[in-house]
Amino acid sequence: MSIIDLLREDLRDFAGYRSARTDACDGEIWLNANESAQPSAADGDGSLRRYPEPQPAPLRAALARLYGCREDQVLAGRGSDEGIDLLLRALCPPGAGAALVTTPTFGMYAVCARLHGTRLVDVPLVDGPGGHACDFDTVAAVAEREDARLVFLCSPGNPGGNLLPLPAIATLAQRLRERAVVVVDEAYLEYAGAPSAVELIGAHHNIAVLRTLSKAHALAAARIGCVIADAALIDALRRCQAPYPLARPCVEAALAALQPAARAATRDRVEQAVAERERMQAALAELPGVRRVYRSRANFVLVRFEQAQAAFERLIGAGIVVRDMRATPGLGDALRISIGTPAQNTVVLAALGATPAGAPVGPRNEALA
Ligand SMILES: *Cc1c(COP(=O)(O)O)cnc(C)c1O
């Protein structure tokens, strides 16, 4: 059985759009793509006149080096968000099959599934003393029973910050190898200092890893992320992707961010964020009115409050915007706080430390608490 057998049957012979860049040709005078013959006045060096390479070789090479895979195992796209969408479209037949998520988790899996008309099944994470844990046996059983074609795992998890064990991911992929692709979203892995599921893709053709330059590499506006998987799956995803997904200025920014000096600076930023995360976790846990601080391996912390509305208002009053998680089932008293600069984090602690016990309680959804 090859990974191709997991693709949507109606797309197996789909070639996708043949763009002006699909067929490699040599020539001096390029008149095949209806581009303007002269650059825009807004385009100083004239580099924007032509359609970009769909998958620039230098970017693919840099990403392969960064993530430790082969170049034909990487598909670069507009953030890992695009990877989520492509996986759904390539693997889930419209109106059939399902995608499995483990809530609380990143909202885009459900959004993309909904847009594609894919049924979503949920095997909630187990909120235990060690934080959120994935019940892998139940995930496997439910994926089999519900005909899930995709299983979305997030490690470290958003919003819980929990890391998933690679051996359990490998066992799950092995059990589902004839029926589903296991997606491991590692948007925050740099902050965990842990090995990547990329090391499993050689032995497991049905594991796809999502990585992004949006978080640790500080390039969220450039919209560059990637899928790393079996080369045949990458090839199939590329055929489902837009003809020219990567804007040239964004590719240039990504290449610059992956030069050695910039990578060293990234490592320093990550190190500082990790140190600050540890400081914040310890300090938040000491504050009055804090019920629980989840142990995080990412660049945010999930915090439960006695009075989350009051805490939220305190923070807003100090000009600090955090992510309100209270609409999420099981997190009716929680806020997710990203790790900022050391000075910003200190302001957060001061704002929360000033919360008097017994401050007025705002509206709370007890059913969700
Ligand atoms: C932020 C985030 C992403 C990043 O998405 P991009 O489209 O690459 O910016 C992916 N997954 C999770 C879980 C995230 O929190």
79: Cβ below 6 Å to ligand 1?
Answer: yes
| Phi and psi, residue 341, nearest 5° | -70, 160
Categorize the per-residue pLDDT at 22 as very low, low, confident or very high, splitting at 50, 70 and 90.
low
Residue 234 phi/psi, 5-degree rounding, is: -60, -45
Residue with CA closest to ligand 1 atom 2: 187
* Ligand 1 center from residue 63 Cα (angstroms): 16
**Closest protein CA for atom 11 of ligand 1:** 187
CA of 41 to the centre of ligand 1 (A): 35
- The Å distance, Cα 52 to ligand 1 centre, comes to 24
- Residue 365 confidence (pLDDT): 38
- At 87 the pLDDT is 98
Question: Which atom from ligand 1 is nearest to the alpha carbon of 223?
Answer: 9
Atom of ligand 1 nearest to the CA of 78: 7
pLDDT higher than 90, residue 95: no
Measured in whole angstroms, how far is the alpha carbon of residue 312 from the centre of its chain? Answer: 26
Q: Among 20-29, 91-100, 151-160, which is the least confidently predicted range?
A: 20-29
Answer whether 102 contacts ligand 1 (Cβ < 6 A): no
The mean pLDDT value for 74-78 works out to: 98
- Top mutation candidate among 67, 75, 81 for ligand 1, by most atoms within 8 Å of CB: 81
Reply yes or no on whether the pLDDT at 107 is more than 90: yes
Asked if pLDDT for residue 197 goes beyond 70, the answer is yes
The response to whether residue 154 sits with its C-beta less than 6 Å from ligand 1 reads yes
The atom of ligand 1 lying closest to the CA of 224 is 8
> 123 near 140, Cβ under 8 Å?
no
Total count of residues recorded for the chain: 369
In whole angstroms, give the CA distance from residue 351 to residue 56. 46
